[in-house]
Amino acid sequence: MNLASQSGDAGGSQLLFANFNQDNTSLAVGTKSGYKFFSLSSVDKLEQIYECTDTEDVCIVERLFSSSLVAIVSLKAPRKLKVCHFKKGTEICNYSYSNTILAVKLNRQRLIVCLEESLYIHNIRDMKVLHTIRETPPNPSGLCALSISNDNCYLAYPGSATIGEVQVFDTVNLRAANMIPAHDSPLAALAFDASGTKLATASEKGTVIRVFSIPEGQKLFEFRRGVKRCVSICSLAFSMEGLYLSASSNTETVHIFKLETQKEKYVPAEEPTTWGGYLGKVLMASTTYLPSQVTEMFTQGRAFATVRLPFCGHKNICALAVIQKIPRLLVAAADGYLYLYNLDPQEGGECTLMKQHRLDGSAEPSNEILEQGSHDRPLVAQTYSAAVTKGYCEEQGAVGGAGLEDDLNDLRLEEENEQPPLILETD
């Protein structure tokens, strides 16, 4: 969740960025004064793991699982990516790009840098640029998704600025895998499940969420978020086992869908005894001969569970995680809070708010209201001609080198059983 384009309207708010790591065990927060990591092992306490105040105006901060590897972008140099070992407090390397960095995605094999009209694929072991996807359709919000699976290491990004095409790219073999015509309207959100075999999509219209098989592109599920109004989808997120999918928007409601087939949830029904029951039976039977558009309306899945947020209009990002052996929905929002809700895995229904924590470290609650509708604007591009001219090459498009350490052979990120051990080197 990048709030950098809203920062000018946020008044005294310190929050510029928030995101969960790949397995939802920690939360990264970027602020005007630096960045922080929080552990998500407890509901009652939001334990701060680390705080850095050396870099100001951090608009992107992405941590690789539970390792010490972190990728950072600052508003003061929005074309420059820094890769750091945060526990040692050292910079491993940095790269400069031809334009503003809008998003950074990491897994154990690849690091992806998303610009408005190009994507750079780095080998995370040595940070070399393996491939560049150039002249992509304009993508001012930096929308893209990277699977966290080693076996299905796919990248998804918009294939059009006018309709909802998804380009799926194999980042291991460095080739296009598929193009999925997901929606009629432009894409608004993308998310892989943990196995990299499912991709959830939403369009700018925001009424329908679809799930496709990867890499085949077959539609597996279709969920209806609502029909009354179009909304801006802020976040899609699978649970780690892939059974649930959450969708948050600029409204006060978060929808949680259950990914089960009709066969799995079939229960022999008794004969209806009310007019409503008879009507329902007739309507379902009629789907065999109704037009396909009408049939789809009947077969679209509805939300298994919902969350009523205490705000409306704030950008937010969600995660589904098991904390203290209970399924939870976590919502980090632009109002500066992390909200934690309980999810009933059997009954669903409306989720219960268990706790909320402040993210910016201030003691007093803020009543600032962020201006709506501004979060899709790209970051304001600032010129850093000296840095770019010094090493930017039109052929490669990204320039990098060693950071504070010349010899990187001894810098091994093996903390907390991170696999594979990362050895970052430069020429």
Q: What is the DSSP track for 298-329?
A: HHSBPPSEEEE-S-SS--EEEEEEEETTEEEE
pLDDT of residue 377: 29
Count Cβ neighbours within 10 Å for each residue of 14-40 and write b for 16 or more, e otherwise.
bbbbbbbbbebbbbbbbbbbbbbbbeb
* Confidence (pLDDT) at 390: 34
pLDDT of residue 401: 57
- For residue 392, pLDDT beyond 70: no
Residue 123 β-bridge partners: 110
Query: How far is it, in rounded angstroms, from Cα 64 to Cα 75?
Result: 21
Is residue 371's pLDDT more than 60? no
Answer yes or no: is pLDDT of 297 > 50: no
pLDDT for 281 beyond 70: no
Residue 47 is given by DSSP the state E
Strand ranges of the sheet holding 305-308, from the earlier edge strand across to the other edge: 233-238, 244-249, 253-258, 305-308, 349-350
- Mean pLDDT throughout 41-48? 93
Mean pLDDT of 135-155: 96
Is 336 within 8 Å of 293 (Cβ atoms)? Answer: no
When pLDDT is averaged across residues 264-282 and rounded to a whole number, the result is 53
What's 75's DSSP letter? T
Provide the pairing of β-strand 326-333 with 316-323.
antiparallel
Q: Per residue in 317-360, pLDDT tens?
A: 999 999 999 999 999 999 999 999 999 999 999 999 999 999 96
Structure tokens at 105: 């995605």
Task: Identify the band that residue 70 occupies on the pLDDT scale cut at 50, 70 and 90.
Answer: very high
158, 88, 183, 172: which is closest to 123 by C-alpha?
172
**What is the model's pLDDT at position 280?**
53
Quote the CA–CA distance of 317 and 92 in Å, as a whole number: 29
Residue 231: the pLDDT is 83
Write out the two tokens for 118: 């190009």
Instruction: Give the separation between CA 35 and CA 426, rounded to whole angstroms.
Output: 26
Contacts of 339 by beta carbon, 8 Å cutoff, 6+ apart: 309, 310, 330, 331, 332, 333, 353, 355, 356
Under the banding of pLDDT at 50, 70 and 90, the label for residue 10 is very low
Mean per-residue pLDDT of the chain? 81
Output the pLDDT for position 11.
41
| pLDDT reported for residue 61 | 97
d(CA 213, CA 218): 5
301, pLDDT greater than 90: no
Model pLDDT, residue 41: 94
Residue 297's SS3 state is helix
Q: What is the pTM of this model?
A: 0.79
The pLDDT of residue 277 is 56
Q: From the CB of residue 407, how many other CB atoms can be counted at a distance below 10 Å?
A: 9
